[in-house]
Each structure stands twice: as structure tokens, then as C-alpha cells.
Structure 1
Amino acid sequence: MAIFGCVADDFTGAGDAASFLVKGGLPTQLFNGIPKEGDKVLPGVQAIVIALKTRTQETSSAVDDTMKALMWMGEQGVKHFYLKYCSTFDSTREGNIGPIADRAMELTGSKISLLCPSLPVNGRTVKDGCLFVNGVPLQESPMKNHPLTPMWDCRIQELMKEQSIYPCKVMDRSWFGKSLEEVTQAFEDEKRTYLIPDYETDEDGEKIAAMFYKLPLLTGGSGLLEPLARLHAWELGIGSESAVPDNTTSGGAFMVAGSCSKATLGQIKHFKEQGGLSYRMDPVAMAEGKESVEDVWSFIQKHQDQSVLVYSSDTADNVKKVQEMGREKIASMLEQASAQLAQKAVKAGMTRIIVAGGETSGAVTKGLGFDSYRIGESVAPGVPIMIPAGREDIRLVLKSGNFGQEDFFTRVLEMTEKKEGK
């Protein structure tokens, strides 16, 4: 019976959260969307992560979906809940973090909770209630130009004033080391309250987790999840090695990259420079009917003894044509092509499916019909190896565009391949 439950605001964020829970020692299962009737928690799982789409979803629907997810986890025995959101928060004035957290506080009967978006390993830190990105105040960072959630203030209290009905209090380092009872007593005359602790290092995260891990509800980025998992695993008497299933499997690999982020482009370049075989899907040629999914698949079949990386990043000459044809139309076409290729790969017996790009990952998992996964070791921070429920032979690795090291593709191939005699 699971004891820890996390609701994430998107799929790649859920994978990120799940990877830190496993690293902390809790056997973890990830569900893509609210579990359906008949969906079950796998044997031995102690942490459940449910991926929703609440970051940019209409607010009332986002709140309703989150409550359904929390209640389902409660029915599975979960006692400790976590709302996971982006480590750069959501600074739109009509943002969803406040309304969701307010209802979750009420549902779980929480008097106090945390707002803890820090993820020091990725340069996200909080000091004096202010959120920084690589040492730069949020509203001065590149995130100020985010197309969906532009960042206008680094002060979390100010951001929450527009979103939440409950007050926020900044918790500086003088609170570190106090007991949960002392903190609770300090706010016993307040109505429900959010605390915003200083969190600049991993050591800060460990101290915060030790103070608050017994609360029914916490909220934040993925940074706090590893120390929380360690504490719960210790109480359960679970060794960290029991949390990680076998990363490897026999069979070929199919790789597809739909992201044009700087990180993914660098990873494609590195793979090719290391002698990796690749095929570029030309979006303009596909839209004009000059290239098809069958053409790509034919190339893959001709090189069955090699792992082929299929990618669709645009050349400068194609950008204008793509704009003229409609970016959304082209993106949808490429995502569906990626999903069809992944379906063909699995049908042909390939067991390692590796996808770069959030939207491409969503299309591929939908196409394959996978909606629940046991979580394995991470290839990179926030990028775990996943084993679909009911398909123990398959290893699935999904990454958002900016995640992963330069050698991501060669690294994931090495980590997932079962060697002869092992």
C-alpha cells in the first residue's frame, strides 16, 4: 500500500518528480492522467505520481482534476500528499497554483503547508521569499519572456496574493532546526497558512524535509522530493536498492527527437559526431507529400543492426516555409509521425523507446497506449527509465527538450541495453 502521493502539473514534470522519489529510495509508479477504473498500484510501490495538465489548464478544471487525483490516491492508502509544479512557479495573475493548493489544503485538513519551488541542481533557489534562476531574480531571468507564463515578480508572496485566499509567511533560516510542533504552535492563531522557506542548497532541502515531512500536504518543485523520500523510506525500512528495477532489456532501440531546443540540437549533433546513424524527417517534404512515415520506417528496417535516431529539427531555409504552412499543423503532423514510427518499432520487436521533446513524448505514449509506469534509474536529472505496466520487456525514456547531457543518446543506449550473459 502506497504512503506517498504526488500530483504533477505536466507529464515531464511528473517524470522529473518520480525520478527524485526513486533516487530517495521509494519504489514509484507514474500514472499518465487520472487513473481509470481497474487501474491498480503495482506490488511493492510506495509512491504514486499522477501526471495532469494543470499548468496551463482552465482553472476550475485544473482544480477538479487535482482533487480527483488526490482522492484516488487517498483510496490507495496515501497519507502524505505533494503538489509538484514548475521550479519557476507560475507567475500569471490568474495562475493555477494558488487555487489548487487552497483546495488541497482544505481537502487534507492542513493548517500549514509549504511553497517550495527550489531545485538547486538546476539553479532554482529561494531566499527571503524571492525566487532566483541561476542567481538572477525571476522577473529578470529569461523566463520573463515565457510565452504562456511570463514571469513578472520574484516575490512568491506577491505572486500568491493574486492566486490564493490564504496568507503566505516567509520563513528565514532562524526557523531551521525547530520542531514541527514549534512551527505549528507559532501559527495556531492564523488561518491556513503557506510558509516560504529559504532553500538555496541541497542541505537546506534536507533540513526543510526533516521539519515538515509528516505534514499531510506539501507543495513545490522536485527539489524537496528526494530528501522527503529518504525520510519515508527510512521509516518504512526500505533500502534504496529495492526502489530501482532493472534498467536493461534485450532488443533494439528506436530514438526520435521532436524538440528543437538548444540542448536537444547539441545532443543530436554529438550523437552524429560519435558515428551514430540518423535520419532527418523533413517537415516541408512530409507536408508536401514528398516524404512519408513509410520512407522513414524503410530506412530504419534497412539498418536493423544499428540504433537509428530520427529527428525533425528545421534548417534555416525551411523555417519560412513551415511558418507559411502553419506551425501548429506541422508540429501535429510530426508528432503523429513520431507516434506511428514508435508503434511500428514496438510491433517489430524493438523494446527501447527513447523520445526527446515534451509534446513528442506525449504523442508517442498516447500512440503506444501506455498510461502507467514503474520508475527506474535516471539517465539525467529528471529523466528516468520507465517500464510500462504490463510490458516488463520495454524500457521507455522521455525527456523534455532542455534536459540531459550532451551525450544523452549514447548514454541512454548504454544504460538500457542488456549485455549478453548478464
Structure 2
Amino acid sequence: MLLGVIADDFTGASDIANTIAKGLPGQGGLRTVQYLGVPSTTADPEVEAGVIALKSRSIAPEDAVHQSLRALEWLLNQGCSQVVFKYCSTFDSTPEGNIGPVGEALAEALGVKGVVACPAFPGAGRTVYQGHLFVRDKLLNESGLENHPLNPMTDADIRRWLGRQIESGVGHVGIDTVYKGPAAIASALDDAAKEQHTLVIVDAITDDDLVRIGEAVADHRLVTGGSGIAIGLPANFIARSLAKGEGSATMGVEGPEAILAGSCSGATRQQVDIHRRNHPTLAIDVAGVMDGKIAPAELTSFLLANQGRAPLVYSSGAPDEVQAIQARFGREKVAAALDNLFANTARELVTAGIRRLVVAGGETSGAVVSALDLGALRIGSEIDPGVPVLLSKGDEPVALALKSGNFGAPDFFAKALERLAGR
């Protein structure tokens, strides 16, 4: 294994796995597998990139550090010469959050400083300019992410945000340096290391900027960022004849289908609105869930009764609705109850024969795949930027699409089901 990734949630893991498997146009990527948690056995020797999906974004920092260090140990034992710590392209993290502590712990374990921190993903509208994170044409804290139910982002200055989480100062490499090319970027990172900056925010506005950054860190043992930071990394291994470069394979499975949406993002709510115009949908009564009146069997029954019609169940609500429910029952209790509901529903669906499953929302996806325990997942073709087809192994494989809340085109759900069938 050449390249290892530690991802702090499951949708983010499939996002960066897709980036690595796809690689640059005309060059191809690496043979990539996504693991659900830290594996207990060694990797297949043909795997060139291993992506470990953790559910560590919103847990206690000390627990996130512990899990990430375990993942690092496994990846190093597989022979990885470079490791990426992948977090959300919208930096979903409270001031007491995990990005800084995990990044520092990994850097200390590897004995490095001057480590890139770049959440930019231009293909999904996330860019970093002068240390500030934008979502398309809006600052992060004006993009709707300030209303995130678990990790509200109220400051677009990610240098300042990250500085609240770590003890060492946060460095910055501006876009003017990035434009000068890989050598200038590498020199700036070396200077940051000499100044004892462990993590360094690096500006990126386009994919070309990310390619330059990727070339600059070819010899770095640790890189951190969103999935975009991996755009140029496979090319480094291909250039050194350590990998041949392969494209993402088209694969899928026919069979019954279901869609579960737990994200409350604006993009997911729009996708739900569009899908329910022509397909059966069921809105989850969250208060009923909290009162014990809604069980997985009700959701499963609806989805199975509407086979062949792309049925969807969702808990997605507008920010004011979400805030009212959280105020009534408690944010953590609501999140845990919905995670359990979706997890148990997914388990019942697969047991009943569902073979194509689309899941929206990072926390929801984490709960679902943890419950299904499907093992290593193969990476297929891209559905929309950042969302690939995932296929489990075995005699009865399950095809999955794990969508971060803000990802995907308006018609994502119907399109995803087609792609999961290999069409």
C-alpha cells in the first residue's frame, strides 16, 4: 500500500476514495479500497490506496485522537509512505472540535511539522482564499453552515478557528505563493516548520492549485484537508513508477432499492423536494421518534411496499424546525435517536433483500454502514463530484452511495439509484 487515508466520517471517506481512484485526467488513479473502521487483518497486496472511514468527527477529541492513531499504525504497517487526514470541505468542527487535536497528534507521531491543512474542494464550490473558507460565493459562516445541527460554522477564518483547537500557532501559505508553483509552496511549508507551525492553511481556488500543492508535498509523510487535497497525490506515485494508474471501474448491482436521508442541509432538502414530486416519500416525525412512537419497522414497511419506485424516507427539516426539536429534546439525544433509527432500518432493509441503498448525511451514513458491517468496499464510478458507487464483496453484494449533506446535483437520488445498478 502506497497511500493511506484516515477520514473522520464515512461520506468523507468515499469522497476522497473517489478522488484517489479517479486521479488526474489522462493519468488515472490508484487501486483504492475503503475500509469501515480500522481493519483487523492485513490489506490485499494489490491495494495501492487504503481509506479508513472513522466516525470521529463529532466525538470527544481524546477519542478521535485515539482512533486516528490506531488507524495510522495500521496504515504504516501496510507500507504507506504518505498519510492523509481527511476532514470535511466545510471544516465541520466546533472550537472544541477534533481537526486540530487529531492533526497535531498524527504530526507528532510521524515527527513532522509544516503540514498542509487545506479543505478546498473547488469541484463542490469550496475554496480557500487568504485563509478564509468559501462555499461558492459566500463566506462559510454565511452559507447556511452556520446552522449545522451538530457543528455550526460561525467563522470563515479557518486559521482563527483552527487556532482555537491547537497549542502551536497556525501557519498560512497565500494564493500568491501557490501560483508560483510547487517549489515555492514547498519552501513556504519548510519555513512554517522552522517557525514550529504544525499545521499550515494553504489557499486553493482551483483544481490546478490543488495539483500544485500535491506536487509540493510529494515527499511529505502527512497531509491534511478535504478530498480535494488528494487530487494530485496519485500522480506522484505514478511518476515514480510505483503505480501504473487506473481509472474508476463501472460496477453495480441490480435489485431492490431504498433511499435514506438524514441530512438537514439546504442541498439535501432541495433534493428531497425534487424527488418527492415523482416518487413515494415518507417524512419522519422526529417528535414521534423521540416519544417512542416511530420504529424502524414503519420505515421498512413503507420502503419495501414501494419497490421499483425509488422510495425515500427522510428526517431532513428546515433550520427552525431542527432547532425547535433540539430545544425540546436535546441536540445529542435527537442525533442519537435518528442515527439508531436509520441504522436499524438499514439493517432490516438489507436482511429483506435491498441491494441498492442511497444514504444522505455524514452522521446518517456512518450509522448505517456501521450497522451493516459490510467490510471493505470497492470504489466504482463517480455519481456526482465527491460521491462514488461503493460495492461490498460477497455472494450478495450491496451497492451504496454515501452522500455528504451538501453534495450532489438536484436530481441526485434518482441518478444515484441508476448508477448503483451499473447504468
Q: TM-score range by the shorter chain?
A: 0.7 to 0.9
* Secondary structure of 2:368 counterpart: helix
Shift of 1:299: 4.3
Q: Is the 8 A contact 1:97 1:163 kept in 2?
A: no
Which amino acid is the alignment partner of residue 62 of structure 1?
A: A
Q: Which has the larger radius of gyration?
A: 1
* 1:23 match: 22
Bigger CA drift: 180-189 or 195-204? 180-189
CA drift of 1:129 comes to: 3.5
Residue equivalent to 1:227: 232
Q: 2:173 maps to which residue? A: 170
1:214 pairs with one of 206, 213, 219: 219
1:372 corresponds to: 376
Aligned residues: 413
Q: What's the CA shift string for 1:73-102, capped at 9, x where partnerless? A: 000111111111222336755443333223
Report the counterpart of residue 384 of structure 1 in structure 2. Answer: 388
Within 1, Cα distance between the matches of 2:147 and 2:317? 22
Deviation readout 1:313-358 (Å, 9 max, x if unpaired):
5699999789756676565555444333323332233211112233
Residues 182 and 215, structure 2, Cα contact 8 Å, conserved in 1: no
**Secondary structure of the corresponding residue to residue 338 of structure 1:** helix
- Does the Cα contact within 8 Å between 1:144 and 1:150 map onto a contact in 2? yes
Q: How many Å separate the matches in 2 of 1:317 and 1:168?
A: 39
Unaligned runs of 5+ in 1: none
Separation in 2, partners of 1:214, 1:399:
31
Query: Does structure 2 retain, via aligned residues, the 8 Å contact 1:340–1:367?
Result: yes
Q: Output the CA distance in 2 between the equivalents of 1:280 and 1:365.
A: 22
Match of 1:268 in 2: 272
Question: How has the CA–CA distance of structure 1 residues 142 and 67 changed in structure 2, closer, same or farther, with 3 Å as cutoff?
Answer: same
Q: Matches of residues 16-415 of structure 1 in structure 2 within 5 Å? A: 16-24=15-23, 25-35=29-39, 37-38=40-41, 40-89=42-91, 92-138=94-140, 142-144=144-146, 146=148, 148-152=151-155, 154=157, 156=159, 159-160=162-163, 163-165=166-168, 168-174=171-177, 176-177=180-181, 179=183, 183=187, 187=191, 190=194, 192-193=196-197, 194-234=199-239, 235-241=241-247, 244-273=248-277, 275-283=278-286, 293-313=296-316, 332-390=336-394, 393-415=397-419
Q: Secondary structure at 1:406's aligned position in 2?
A: coil
Could you give the per-residue CA deviations for residues 183-227 of structure 1, whole angstroms, max 9, x where no partner exists? 289639925444443311111111121222221111112112122
**Offset, 1:395:** 0.5
CA 1:168–1:312: 2 relative to 1, 3 Å: closer
**Aligned partner of 2:130: which letter?**
D
Query: Residues 284 and 220 (structure 1 numbering): CA distance in 2 closer, same or farther, change over 3 Å?
Result: closer
Name which of structure 1's ranges 179-188 and 292-301 shifts more when overlaid on structure 2: 179-188
Structure 1-normalised TM-score? 0.83
1:385-422, CA deviations, whole angstroms, 9 ceiling, x for partnerless residues?
Answer: 11224466221112132221111111012112257xxx
Percent identity, aligned pairs only, is: 36
User: Which TM-score applies when normalising by structure 2?
Assistant: 0.83
* Corresponding residue SS for 2:194: coil
Contact 1:378 1:385 in 2 (8 A): yes
CA contact (8 A) 2:15 2:386 kept: yes
Q: 1:271 to 1:8 in 2, by over 3 A?
A: same
1:277 shift after superposition:
3.2
Q: Give distance in 2, aligned partners of 1:214 and 1:131.
A: 26
Change (3 A) 1:415 1:67: same
> Is the partner of 1:72 in helix, strand or coil?
helix
**One-letter identity of the residue aligned with 2:8:** D
Gaps of at least 5 residues in structure 2 are 24-28
Matched position secondary structure for 2:365: helix
Higher mean C-alpha displacement, 332-341 vs 281-290 = 281-290
Q: CA deviation at 1:53?
A: 3.7
After superposition, the Cα gap between the structure-2 partners of 1:48 and 1:330, relative to the gap in structure 1 and judged at 3 Å, is same
How has the CA–CA distance of structure 1 residues 94 and 299 changed in structure 2, closer, same or farther, with 3 Å as cutoff?
closer
Q: CA deviation at 1:109?
A: 3.0
User: Residues 108 and 216 of structure 1 are in contact (CA less than 8 Å); yes or no, is this contact kept in structure 2?
Assistant: yes
| Alpha-carbon contact 1:129-1:198 (below 8 Å) kept | yes
